[in-house]
Amino acid sequence: MDERQYHVISGRENGERLDSRILEELVQSAVERNRTDITVEAYGQHGIGGRLWKTGTTRVHVRVEGHPGQRIGSMGFPNTLIEVMGPASDDVGWLNGGATIVVHGNAANGCCNGMAQGKVYIDGNIGARGMTMTKHNPRFDPPELWVLGSVGDYFGEFMAGGIAVVCGVNPQNPKNILGYRPFVGMVGGKTFFRGPHAGFSEADAKLVPIASSDWAWLRDNLTIYLEHIGKPDLVDELADPQQWQLLEARRPQEKKGKQKRSMRSFREEVWDRELGNGGLIGDLTDLDRSPIPLVTSGELRRFVPVWENRKYAAPCEASCPTGVPVHERWRLIREGRMDEAVDLALAYTPFPATVCGYLCPNPCMHACTRQSAFMAPVDITGLGKASINAGLPELPPLSGNRVAVIGGGPSGISIAWQLRQNGNEAVVYDRSEDLGGKIVSVIPESRIPKDIVVKELDRLKEVIPHVHLQQDIRKSDVEQLREDFDFVVIAVGAQKPRTLPIPGNERAVTALNFLEKAKTGRFSPGKRVVIIGAGNVGCDVAAEAHRLGAEDITLIDIQEPASFGKEREDAEAAGAKFLWPVFTREITADGVVLTNGELLPADTVFVSIGDAPDIGFLPEDVATAHGFVSVNELFQTSDPRIFAIGDVVKLGLLTDAIGAGRVAANAIIDILAGRRPEYSPKKMIDRERIKLEYFDPRITSFDDMDQCGSQCSSCGACRDCGICVAACPQTAISRVDPEEGGDYEYVVDPDRCIGCGFCTGACPCGIWDLVENTPMG
């Protein structure tokens, strides 16, 4: 090429350096005039040899002598060959668009920055940031940079395409021909290099084996390169594939952060090795701390369902002073065991028909859970009335223990009955010829058919010995009984009517007195009666007086009358008027004079302000208070062998008296058996556990007992419906059939249960509870 005729353009004129703009105009003008071989004598001018497109495809050869400035060959075209006859400054081939640039010496920083096409052949080393931001446009061949020696720091930053070849011949730093931190941000292209390096951005680039096609390319182009720099002899030294390595950009899918050790490996090989097995606290605990899922089973459940069948009393049972488990009777009805439902009550009360069916105000029904949602309570009275047919159970033989019961009223009979059922002999002492107390002697027949009472008493008389006392009991009698029997029970009731401390009180008839006489029809009250005290007994008086001919009946009270239920209804049906609050000044022959002076005319004045016990016969060591016998919760008096129950302890309902008999009987039975007696009735179930939504809310009355049974919510007692089994999302619940003589059970498979509480939520009876699992750790 040296034989050609070169058109010389000097970068100096008249001893003055030409401005880069002037030199560019001179070169462009020469090319325009078809000068295709040009020598430029450079004096640091910028961008020499670029943009020489005006010859079209005709080749232009620019030889640069002297000292070219920065960016030689910038924006070079494919037709251009630039040959720098010595070293070059910064940014050789900047934004090269296809020129071939040969530098016969070293090149400074930024070599090939932004190059897109063309070839740059360096016969030496280059400075920092070579081959940065280079591209490969698929429409053209990739750009190439060939460096004979080594490259400076930060080589190939953000390289996006093209091929670099670093031959490692006489490198500036023989230990590292790729410089410091090369290929940061590299996304495309490749680099062949021959010699040692000190690392590169592994996140962006990777070493790959040199394929045979790569080697063929390198081998062929190496020759061309060496020819361009005039050192073809080096080909033998360089053409050893073993000496070369090839580095490529990672594809986006292969990009990775800095190669890091896995945390698992760090934990096992560094952390636990330094700290010991189990890591940070392996010495303090042997608890398993390995990961678990959010939803767990077995011992990892946070909550555990518990089948609390019959743990709590149903509200009916809990509110029944006698303690009859009413819901259990309905269960028996549901199971078609009518007879057992009837007989069951007899275990709790000697008067299942008389009291439950007729006389009791039925606290069980008031307490019924259904009431709490405005639903009609299950009606017990029908079942109560049906209990008249209850048969005596087979009784155990007598054990020899003996208890004296003073008083044959409801409480006395109750305790005697309970004791007998347990095989103890209980002898009832009463002044009356017949057992039954006030049920028989006082309560009007309007409220209880006589045959019912008689039938129930007959049932009992067979098994309860009765001693008919001919006179009032005395202290010495009690002391004798205490000698003769294991226990003595005081159940004499409240027999002493209370009277008013007002003038003329002797004119008044007490309710107790009247009702007793009324039962036998031996009293005529006249047409006009006034009853002082408008409670339920007062109402009974009113009804009885009406039956015996009274027409104008007035009940007066100092406060709103406390009467309710059947008694009140009967009194109102008899036309009784209720006056309150009024206060009596005196009772005269004409009637009752009130404190305001008004006279309530009356043929008979009744006083119905309650009865008090007559306890004068008690031994002195039996403590009393306010006219009643003092007892503990077991109805035991200050003499441990004397119990007291019924109205003699506290005025109450028949069912209170009967219940007291049961509690005291159980205490006596426990003591006789050598056990510490306990009063521990079951707690009442929280009504909110019961799901009344299962029941039809529009039922206001019940057609028959079967319907009652079906509508009973069986609070706290499993109705064996299987809803829990079906509700459990984990099929963890199953029903276990009873073993011989046992009861069925619903059980939870802990390995399936997740502690969701659906069983608790779905159970109509409130049997399932969800409790916290046993604490760990």
Partner 1 sequence: MLSDRPVTPSTLSVKDLPWQILWDKEKCTLCGKCTAVCPVNSIELGVFRKRVFQATLNPEDTPGNLHTIYHGLRQKTDPAYACVGCAMCNMVCPNDAIIPARSDEADKLRMHIDRGGQPRRRGGRRNRAGGVLDQIKFIRISMLTDPALDAGRHEFELRTLLGRILPPEESMKCLTQNGWIPPVREIYPLVIGGMSFGALSPNMWEGLQMGVAYLNEELGMPVRMCTGEGGCPPRLLRSRFLKYVILQIASGYFGWDEIIHALPEMKEDPCAVEIKYGQGAKPGDGGLLMWYKVNKLIAAIRGVPPGVSLPSPPTHQTKYSIEESVAKMIQSMYMAWGFRVPVYPKISGTSTAMAVLNNLTRNPFAAGLAIDGEDGGTGAAYNVSMNHMGHPIASNIRDAYLTLVTVGKQNEIPLFAGGGVGKNGNLAANAAALIMLGASGIQTGKYIMQAAAGCLGSETDRCNICNIGLCPKGITSQDPRLYRRLDPEMVAERVVDVFLSFDTELRKIVAPLGRSTSLPIGMSDALGISDKDAADRLQIKYVI
Q: Which stretch binds partner 1 (CB under 8 A): 344-352, 499-507, 670-678, 687-695?
A: 687-695
Rounded least distance, CB 715 to partner 1, Å: 13
Residue with the two structure tokens 């009744």? 606
Confirm or reject binding of residue 266 to partner 1 (CB under 8 A): yes
| Residue 760 one-letter amino acid | T
Helix ranges, 246-369 (H): 263-266, 272-275, 315-319, 326-334, 338-346, 363-367
Confirm or reject binding of residue 161 to partner 1 (CB under 8 A): no
Phi-psi region of 493 (alpha: psi -120 to 50; beta: other; left: phi over 0): left
Confirm or reject binding of residue 261 to partner 1 (CB under 8 A): yes
In a 13 Å sphere around the CA of 619, the CA atoms on its Cβ side amount to: 21
Q: Which stretch binds partner 1 (CB under 8 A): 112-120, 392-400, 417-425, 695-703?
A: 695-703
d(CA 523, CA 539): 17
Confirm or reject binding of residue 776 to partner 1 (CB under 8 A): yes
Confirm or reject binding of residue 255 to partner 1 (CB under 8 A): no
Q: Which stretch binds partner 1 (CB under 8 A): 350-358, 471-479, 583-591, 693-701?
A: 693-701
- Among 33, 260, 522, 626, which residue interacts with partner 1 (rule: CB under 8 A)? 260
- Among 77, 429, 485, 758, which residue interacts with partner 1 (rule: CB under 8 A)? 758
Displacement of CA 519 from its chain's centroid (Å): 62
- Among 207, 234, 235, 300, which residue interacts with partner 1 (rule: CB under 8 A)? 300
Confirm or reject binding of residue 199 to partner 1 (CB under 8 A): no
Rounded least distance, CB 523 to partner 1, Å: 46
d(CA 365, CA 342): 17
Rounded least distance, CB 286 to partner 1, Å: 11
Q: Which stretch binds partner 1 (CB under 8 A): 80-88, 300-308, 493-501, 733-741?
A: 300-308
- Among 35, 190, 206, 301, which residue interacts with partner 1 (rule: CB under 8 A)? 301
In the chain, helix, strand, coil percent, each to 5? 30, 20, 50
Rounded least distance, CB 301 to partner 1, Å: 8
350 touches 414 (CB < 8 A): yes
Q: Which stretch binds partner 1 (CB under 8 A): 177-185, 210-218, 411-419, 557-565?
A: 177-185
Rounded least distance, CB 316 to partner 1, Å: 16
- Among 85, 234, 239, 275, which residue interacts with partner 1 (rule: CB under 8 A)? 275
Sign of CA dihedral 687, 691, 697, 703: negative
User: What φ, ψ does residue 453 adopt, rounded to 5°?
Assistant: -60, -45
Confirm or reject binding of residue 752 to partner 1 (CB under 8 A): no
Confirm or reject binding of residue 703 to partner 1 (CB under 8 A): no
- Among 181, 447, 498, 547, which residue interacts with partner 1 (rule: CB under 8 A)? 181
- Among 86, 185, 423, 465, which residue interacts with partner 1 (rule: CB under 8 A)? 185
Confirm or reject binding of residue 756 to partner 1 (CB under 8 A): yes
Task: Kindly state the number of chain residues that form the binding site for partner 1, as judged by CB under 8 A.
Answer: 67
Rounded least distance, CB 657 to partner 1, Å: 32
| Angle subtended at Cα 500 by Cα 498 and Cα 503, rounded to the nearest 5 degrees | 145
Confirm or reject binding of residue 44 to partner 1 (CB under 8 A): no
Closer by beta carbon to partner 1, 184 or else 579: 184
Rounded least distance, CB 315 to partner 1, Å: 12
Tell which positions 16-35 bind partner 1, by CB under 8 A: none
Confirm or reject binding of residue 579 to partner 1 (CB under 8 A): no
Rounded least distance, CB 112 to partner 1, Å: 18
Confirm or reject binding of residue 760 to partner 1 (CB under 8 A): yes
- Among 287, 395, 673, 747, which residue interacts with partner 1 (rule: CB under 8 A)? 287
Which positions from 637 to 676 touch partner 1 by CB under 8 A, shown as an x/- string? Answer: ----------------------------------------
Helix ranges, 548-588 (H): 565-573
Confirm or reject binding of residue 730 to partner 1 (CB under 8 A): yes
Which positions from 139 to 158 touch partner 1 by CB under 8 A, shown as an x/- string? Answer: ------------------xx
Rounded least distance, CB 697 to partner 1, Å: 7
Rounded least distance, CB 320 to partner 1, Å: 21
Burial of 86 (0-12, 13-18, 19+ CB in 10 A): middle
What is the enclosing helix (H) or strand (E) of 103?
A: strand 97-103
- Among 294, 462, 501, 701, which residue interacts with partner 1 (rule: CB under 8 A)? 294
621 touches 488 (CB < 8 A): no
Kindly report the length of the chain: 777
87 touches 32 (CB < 8 A): no
463 touches 392 (CB < 8 A): yes
Rounded least distance, CB 270 to partner 1, Å: 6
Q: How far is CA 512 from CA 201, 219, 609, 652, in A?
A: 111, 133, 10, 15
d(CA 707, CA 701): 9
Closer by beta carbon to partner 1, 151 or else 345: 151
Q: What is the CA radius of gyration of the chain?
A: 57
Confirm or reject binding of residue 302 to partner 1 (CB under 8 A): yes
Residue of 298, 308, 305 whose CA lies nearest to 772 = 305
Confirm or reject binding of residue 293 to partner 1 (CB under 8 A): yes
- Among 505, 694, 734, 745, which residue interacts with partner 1 (rule: CB under 8 A)? 694
Rounded least distance, CB 96 to partner 1, Å: 23
| Residue 717 one-letter amino acid | A
Q: How far is CA 487 from CA 105, 425, 472, in A?
A: 130, 11, 20
Q: How far is CA 416 from CA 62, 487, 631, 681, in A?
A: 135, 12, 19, 21
- Among 6, 215, 303, 307, which residue interacts with partner 1 (rule: CB under 8 A)? 303
Token pair recorded at residue 158: 């953000």
68 touches 48 (CB < 8 A): yes
295 touches 754 (CB < 8 A): yes
- Among 175, 289, 474, 475, which residue interacts with partner 1 (rule: CB under 8 A)? 289
Confirm or reject binding of residue 762 to partner 1 (CB under 8 A): yes
Q: Which DSSP string corresponds to 586-644?
A: EE-SSEEEETTS-EEE-SEEEE-S-EE---TTS-TTS-EETTEE---TT-B-SSTTEEE
d(CA 113, CA 133): 6
- Among 215, 217, 271, 702, which residue interacts with partner 1 (rule: CB under 8 A)? 271
Rounded least distance, CB 694 to partner 1, Å: 6
SS3 of 427, please? Answer: strand
Beta strands in 167-321 (DSSP E): 188-193, 205-208, 245-249, 303-307
Closer by beta carbon to partner 1, 235 or else 727: 727
Residue with the two structure tokens 């001693």? 467
Rounded least distance, CB 360 to partner 1, Å: 24
Which positions from 201 to 220 touch partner 1 by CB under 8 A, shown as an x/- string? Answer: --------------------
Closer by beta carbon to partner 1, 68 or else 305: 305
Rounded least distance, CB 284 to partner 1, Å: 5
Token pair recorded at residue 540: 């009974």
In the complex, the residues that contact partner 1 under the rule CB under 8 A are 157-158, 181, 184-185, 257-258, 260-261, 263-264, 266-267, 270-271, 274-276, 279-285, 287-296, 300-303, 372-374, 687-688, 691, 693-694, 696-698, 727-730, 754-758, 760-762, 764, 773, 775-777
